[in-house]
Amino acid sequence: MNREIQLTADGSHTLFIPEMDEHYHSINGAIQESRHVFIEAGLNQLEKDSLRILEIGFGTGLNAFLTLQETIGHLHKTIEYYSIELYPLELSVIHELNYGELTSAEHKDLFYALHKAEWDTNVKINNNFTIHKIKGDSNTCLLPCNIDLVFFDAFAPDKQPEMWSQFIFNKLCSLTNEGGILTTYCAKGAVRRMMKEAGYSVERIPGPPGKREMLRARKAV
């Protein structure tokens, strides 16, 4: 698929796929959206020092990079980060994205390290953060268990409906620890009902800039 780099409202880049008429992030601010949906509404809601995170949709690596930054300077905070992606981006595209310059210029080499990490194996990025990128389809491949936090960042339901099914939410809930959280930018009623059917307690919370609501789900203790 052809991908075009575009500037969003907060000055950060996103990618646009003309064939799908779909952006990787909100045009109202890519970094703002990722921080709001996945860091503030997800990561910052868990008090454990040791976390296992599963991301559906590695994409540009922005969510992983922001999560990695949260461990820097925290001696006892460790994260095992699993991310699944069926269509990895070329490094030539990655090197054009401005996330490192905008969020943590002194650590932008870590952004590239995430993308250069070998697939389907554990790769230690620093003393606090290990990534395991899974190349495949989350509907069919083996996913890790004992997950504390799920970043559900697939393309929108009307663009990629096979990623928003009762099957996948049942699967994710079964892999999530009690008290674990799933966050997504989506707020559709059908998605909320599928999450509830899977066994999550689901709430609508304020969304990122340009979006009124999003969903946060928690597995009951």
Distance (Å, rounded) from C-alpha 29 to C-alpha 164? 24
Domain boundaries, the chain: 31-92+104-219
The whole-angstrom distance between residue 35's C-alpha and the CA centroid of its chain comes to 10
User: Count H helices, E strands: the chain?
Assistant: 7, 11
pTM of this structure: 0.97
Distance (Å, rounded) from C-alpha 125 to C-alpha 131? 7
Distance (Å, rounded) from C-alpha 36 to C-alpha 177? 23
φ, ψ dihedrals at 177, nearest 5°: -70, 155
Number of alpha carbons in the 13 Å side-chain half-sphere of residue 71: 21
Mean pLDDT over residues 79-103, rounded? 96
Which class does domain 31-92+104-219 fall in? Answer: alpha beta
User: Could you give the C-alpha distances from 160 to 22, 35, 84, 139, in angstroms and in order?
Assistant: 10, 23, 15, 12
| Cα dihedral: 104, 153, 173, 157 (round 10) | 170
H or E element: which one contains 173? helix 166-175
On average, the pLDDT of the chain sits at 96
pLDDT (0 to 100) of residue 99: 97
Please tell me the least confidently modeled range out of 14-23, 73-82, 176-185: 73-82
Mean pLDDT over residues 186-191, rounded? 97
pLDDT higher than 90, residue 221: no
Mean pLDDT over residues 60-88, rounded? 95
**Residue position matching structure tokens 């001696």:** 75
Contact present, 63 and 55 (Cβ < 8 Å): yes
CA torsion sign for 100, 103, 106, 112 is: negative
Contact present, 84 and 56 (Cβ < 8 Å): yes
Q: What is the pLDDT of residues 129-179, one digit of tens each?
A: 999 999 999 999 999 999 999 999 999 999 999 999 999 999 999 999 999
